[in-house]
Amino acid sequence: MFKVMKRSLPYVAVFALFSLFACDVYTVEPRYDVRDNLTGNYEMEEYSDMYNDLSYYQIYIRKSAYAGEIYIDNFYASDVLVHASVSYDRVIIPYQEVNGYAIEGTGTVYGSTLSLTYSVKDLYNHAPADFCKSTANRY
Write down the pLDDT at residue 20: 62
Say how far apart CA 5 and CA 106 lie, in whole Å: 75
pTM of structure? 0.77
Write down the pLDDT at residue 24: 74
Longest dimension (CA), the chain: 101
Write down the pLDDT at residue 28: 84
Say how far apart CA 7 and CA 10 lie, in whole Å: 7
Say how far apart CA 40 and CA 109 lie, in whole Å: 13
34-138, CATH topology level: Lipocalin (2.40.128)
Write down the pLDDT at residue 52: 97
Question: What's the start-to-end Cα distance of the chain, in Å?
Answer: 75
Q: What is the pLDDT along the chain (139 residues), one digit of tens a residue?
A: 555 556 666 777 777 666 666 567 788 888 888 899 899 999 999 999 999 999 999 999 999 999 999 999 999 999 999 999 999 999 999 999 999 999 999 999 999 999 999 999 999 998 899 999 999 999 9
Instruction: Name the β-bridge partners of 21.
Output: none
Write down the pLDDT at residue 125: 92
Say how far apart CA 131 and CA 137 lie, in whole Å: 20
Domain ranges in the chain are: 34-138
